[in-house]
Structure 1
């Protein structure tokens, strides 16, 4: 089969299209998926730059997110049959025999959900990792409740735009930081109540103005760096601050957070996969099932901004690394023409 292979860490050029053996079902609960699309996430570019979690198992096929059609099933598979359309977040961290920048993938059925019927394969492939990340951050870590006020950083980004949708589904009010008027219009479309143009406005002061000086109940940091520490002043006393990035102590301290008695949570949706936590992985699959229902009911949106053919994975990485993306990118398998979504 054709796959994008990474033989050593480095710049996007280390990704190349090659012929590799097709993966085989080895366990009775596994399914073989003929991939139609693969999502591209920042974790992919980080692993490409610094090396995978399994450096002794190189070369590697990247890509945590996949969507496709079930080609074959193991003897104990009960939920799926050949021809079913599925999506999932599994593999792509460097372990041999996994990864979705390819024509086929083998995945345990416990990690797979039926694809939202209303989405294309490319849209579905763009969804799993960001849906799980936003759900776990807002619902599991911060315990979001109806009526609360939430600050979501980078609301036009991959995680941010679905976080807005999930927060609104819970009945929350949402303010979000964006970098341009175009992104302001986009996040309003996703349901944001109060976009903040952070390049023109101090977001902390804007949040305090929006909440009558109290601060939000929850701040969700998808940016990291100094933004994480600055966000402490925008959260109410006894509120929650969740970040998907590791705080850098060289860029600030937690004095404000301590004085305000904030509950700080670190979110890494890859933990269940890296630690082999089966119950947590099943919880993530349930997240995908529920989100698929909401998507098909028109209650949740996925914004796919651009697709690339499989052979242009390196170019897709370059675009993602510019940091100016809205929504998500995806690789489309077995199609030579690039598509830009308006």
Structure 2
């Protein structure tokens, strides 16, 4: 089969196209004929060698998000059959093969049936960000109807999914964006209130929308200094949810408000095989919500072929993408 591999970790130029052996089926797994993938920040970090604990052995096929058709079914698999359309975040990390290839060996516990009302390209943009948003909002954050939540980065990969899931749950959704275009997109996704963080300070919007009390739940999808902003925007006894916390912070504001901080790192449940089934269960629910018309992926207007994997990484790293960046397998 054709595949894009990396022989060493480094910048976006490390990808190269090769012919390699198609993976062999094994019990509990399926082989997927890969039709689409997407790029996530964790993919660029692994490519750069920044996350050695989660990185596969070299040479490696990267990328976790996949959408395609079941080509072969392993012993003991009853949940899928040949010809089923599936999606999931199923590899590209330590101990697994990635999606940037014509075929991918995938643990069925990490997969679900693709929603019928979206394309393969759209489906491939959902798994990692949907699982991340679900775990943060509902597993860690216990978000409930009528709660006020502030979501930072409302048109980002996780942020745009979080807006829709929070609205599906019945929460009151506030979100931060940086441009009028992004504000319009966030509103179209269901955000009740959109805040331009470039024109309003944290103090100003906390006073304006909460009477100075702060938000019950703050979901920081940005990281870095924005985590400090999240502490500042949270209410006393509030909850801060984070997905990018590889940074150093003064926790005094947390202590002063009695805040709870919860970090979601979805790869851990892929690396720990005993937890993988949790991802499949979440994806089944995500598919139901998509088919009910309550959730849709925001796909950037620029798409790439698998051969252009390096360019897709460069584009993500510019920060100019809106929503998710898709990759389409044009070898098939």
Q: Give the TM bin, normalised by the shorter chain.
A: over 0.9
Provide the rounded CA distance (Å) in 2 between the counterparts of 1:11 and 1:140. 35
Partner of 1:319: 315
Q: Structure 2 matches for 1:1-342, cutoff 5 A?
A: 1-26=1-26, 28-50=27-49, 52-53=52-53, 57-95=57-95, 98-249=97-248, 252-276=249-273, 278=274, 280-305=275-300, 306-334=302-330
Shift of 1:324: 2.1
Inter-partner Cα distance in structure 2 for 1:39 and 1:257: 35
Whole-Å separation in 2 of the counterparts to 1:191 and 1:9: 39
Contact kept, 8 Å, 1:70 with 1:85, in 2: the verdict is yes
**Cα 1:23–1:13 shift into 2, 3 Å:** same
Distance in structure 1 (CA, Å) of the matches to 2:203 and 2:43:
31
Residues in 1 aligned to 2:246 and 2:10: alpha-carbon distance in whole angstroms: 24
Kindly state the Cα deviation for residue 231 of structure 1 after the two structures are TM-superposed: 1.4
Normalised to the residue count of structure 2, the TM-score between the two structures is 0.96
- Structure 1 distance, partners of 2:265, 2:323, is 20
Work out the CA distance in 2 between the residues paired with 1:248 and 1:188: 31
CA distance in 2, matches of 1:314, 1:77: 35
Q: Which residue in 2 is equivalent to 1:340? A: none
Q: d(CA) in 2 for partners of 1:183 and 1:25?
A: 44
Distance 1:125 1:141, change over 3 A: same
Cα deviation, 1:129-178, whole Å, max 9, x if unaligned, reads 00000000010111101110001111000000000001001111111111
CA distance in 1, matches of 2:108, 2:10: 33
- How far the C-alpha of 1:228 sits from its partner, in A, is 0.2
Residue aligned with 1:57, SS: coil
Pairwise CA RMSD: 1.5
| CA distance in 1 between partners of 2:94 and 2:303 (Å) | 23
Q: How many residues align?
A: 330
Separation in 1 of the partners of 2:206 and 2:48? 35
| Structure 1 position 56, deviation (Å) | 7.4
Cα distance in 1 for residues equivalent to 2:56 and 2:174: 44
In structure 2, do the counterparts of structure 1 residues 254 and 247 end up closer, same or farther at CA, with 3 Å as the change threshold? farther
Distance in structure 2 (CA, Å) of the matches to 1:296 and 1:163? 17
Structure 2 unmatched runs, 5+: none
Partner secondary structure for residue 290 of structure 1? helix
* Runs of 4+ with deviation above 6 angstroms: none
Quote the offset at 1:75 in angstroms.
2.3
TM-score (norm 1): 0.93
What whole-Å deviation, never above 9, does each CA across 1:12-66 have from its counterpart, x for those lacking one?
A: 000111111111112x211110000012101010111125536672111110110
Report the Cα distance in structure 1 between the residues aligned to 2:56 and 2:325, rounded to whole angstroms. 29
Distance in 2 between residues matched to 1:313 and 1:302, nearest whole Å: 20
Rounded to whole Å, the distance in 2 between the matches of 1:106 and 1:120 is 21
* 3-state SS, counterpart of residue 53 of structure 2: coil
Asked if 1 retains the 8 angstrom alpha-carbon contact of 2:109 and 2:279, the reply is: no
Structure 2 SS opposite 1:176: strand
Deviation at 1:208, TM superposition (A): 3.2
SS in 2 for 1:321: helix
Secondary structure in structure 1 of the residue aligned to 2:138: helix
Q: Contact 2:218/2:234 (CA < 8 Å) preserved in 1? A: yes
1:56 and 1:175 mapped to 2: Cα distance? 38
